[in-house]
């Protein structure tokens, strides 16, 4: 089994520890979870650097951001990164209970699904562009931020049932609803900014590669849909001052659009398809 396979299990471990932390409300489990998460993240970073170096050894050197497998791995990496940064900023280990299962599932799919080819492949002409790295990195950081916002949305709905702060056995250690609401918004705002940059870099690239900065390819259209959903969310928060449950629901709906943009679109014909 390669390194990425091991990282998958480390993330599974982190997910279990986060869950134990939540159920037992124990700081010790929280520390173990955080430590496991960080070591998994470091291991994954090393594995990605190794893969990058390996591609140069094969004489087809390129950043590991070029096929479906590599995108799944980078998505998981970005979620882990944001989760670790946010937990460090918030000084509370809670969002990991959603973030690491997501990172685990992405890596498990990447590593163990027979349909995903994990070999390092050379870049086809359309991908031979300096815009590859900036486009993929910004888009997936955006996706990851939306995934984290989705996690906060779920936490919010668990914590705040029908507007009442439920003390509950498991949920006592969760931040108060206002903090969760603030972090739904913070993640969405960050995601929106970086995802906008992702769309812009993508359209610059498309202008060079396909001759048109926008051609209503299903992936382009779905990224616009995702962008519109989050734009609606931000407007309803900024100006109409929607808070709480509505934010949480919109963050969940937005993430559904993200998932369709990433995965669903492969089943529609288009230029972006990972499935040939």
Partner 1 sequence: MKSKNAGTFWSFITSVRLTVILLIAMAALSVIGTFIPQQGEMIDTRLHPGTLPAAVLDKLRVSDLYHSVYFMILMSLILLNLAACTWRRFPSLWKRFKTVPDMEKAETHDFAAAGSVFYGTRGPGEEAGRLEAAMRSSCTKVVRHGKTEHVSILYGERNSFSIFSVPLIHFSVLVIICGAITGSMAGFEGYVTIPEGEAAQSIITKGNRHLKKLDFAVRCDRFSMDFYENGAPREFRSDLSFIKNGRVAYQGPLLVNHPITFEGIRFYQAGYGLNPSGSLIKVKRGKKIWSIQAGTGESFDLPESDVKVTILRIEDDLMGLGPAVKLNIQLPDRNLQFWVLKHIEKIGKEKPMILEMPIFDPGSFRPYSFSLLDIRHGYFTGLQVNRDPGVAVVAAGSIMMVCGFILAYFFAPVQIWIRVDNDSGRAKIRMMAKTRWNKASGEREIRRILREYDCRKG
- Please, which residue, 41 or 183, has the CB nearer to partner 1? 183
Among 236, 244, 245, 263, binds partner 1 (CB under 8 A): 236
Other residues' Cβ atoms within 10 Å of the Cβ of residue 119: 7
What does the CA dihedral 258, 260, 266, 269 come to, rounded to 10 degrees?
-110
Residue 205: which residues within 8 A CB-CB, separation 6 or more?
129, 131, 132, 135
Q: Which is nearer to partner 1, 36 or 71 (CB)?
A: 71
Which residue, chain included where needed, has tokens 């173990």? 32
Among 28, 49, 232, 256, binds partner 1 (CB under 8 A): 232
Which among 109-117, 148-156, 167-175, 230-238 is the span making contact with partner 1, rule CB under 8 A? 230-238
Burial class of residue 219 (count of CB atoms within 10 Å of its CB; 0-12, 13-18, 19+)? buried
Taking CA atoms, 189 is separated from 35, 163, 184, 195, 210, in Å, by 28, 24, 9, 10, 30
Binding mask 100-129 for partner 1 (x = CB under 8 A): ---------------------xx-xxx-xx
Q: Are 76 and 44 in contact (CB under 8 A)?
A: yes
> Footprint of partner 1 on residues 171-210 (CB under 8 A)?
182, 186, 189-190, 193, 196-197, 200, 203-204, 207-210
Counting residues that bind partner 1 (by CB under 8 A) gives: 46
Instruction: List interacting residues with partner 1 (CB under 8 A).
Output: 60, 89, 121-122, 124-126, 128-129, 182, 186, 189-190, 193, 196-197, 200, 203-204, 207-214, 216, 218, 221-222, 224-225, 228-229, 231-232, 235-236, 238-240, 257, 265, 268-269
């Amino acid at each position: 089994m390669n390194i990425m396979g091991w990282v998958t299990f480390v993330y599974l471990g982190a997910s279990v520890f986060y869950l134990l932390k939540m159920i037992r409300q124990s700081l010790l489990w929280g520390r173990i979870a955080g430590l496991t998460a960080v070591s998994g993240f470091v291991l994954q970073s090393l594995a990605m650097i190794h893969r990058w170096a390996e591609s140069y050894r094969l004489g087809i050197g390129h950043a590991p951001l070029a096929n479906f497998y590599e995108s799944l791995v980078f998505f998981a990496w970005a979620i882990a990164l944001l989760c670790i940064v946010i937990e460090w900023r918030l000084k509370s280990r809670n969002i990991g209970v959603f973030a690491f299962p997501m990172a685990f599932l992405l890596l498990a799919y990447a590593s163990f699904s027979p349909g995903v080819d994990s070999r390092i492949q050379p870049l086809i002409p359309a991908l031979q562009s300096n815009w590859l790295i900036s486009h993929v990195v910004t888009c997936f950081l955006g996706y990851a931020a939306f995934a984290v916002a989705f996690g906060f949305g779920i936490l919010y709905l668990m914590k705040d049932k029908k507007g009442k702060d439920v003390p509950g056995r498991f949920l006592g250690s969760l931040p108060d609803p206002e903090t969760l609401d603030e972090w739904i918004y913070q993640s969405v705002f960050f995601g929106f900014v970086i995802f906008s940059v992702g769309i812009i870099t993508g359209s610059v690239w498309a202008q060079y590669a396909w001759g048109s900065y926008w051609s209503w390819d299903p992936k382009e259209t779905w990224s616009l849909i995702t962008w519109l959903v989050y734009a609606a969310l931000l407007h309803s928060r900024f100006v109409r001052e929607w808070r709480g449950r509505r934010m949480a629901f919109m963050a969940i709906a937005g993430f559904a659009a993200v998932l369709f943009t990433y995965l669903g679109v492969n089943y529609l014909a288009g230029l972006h398809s990972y499935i040939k």
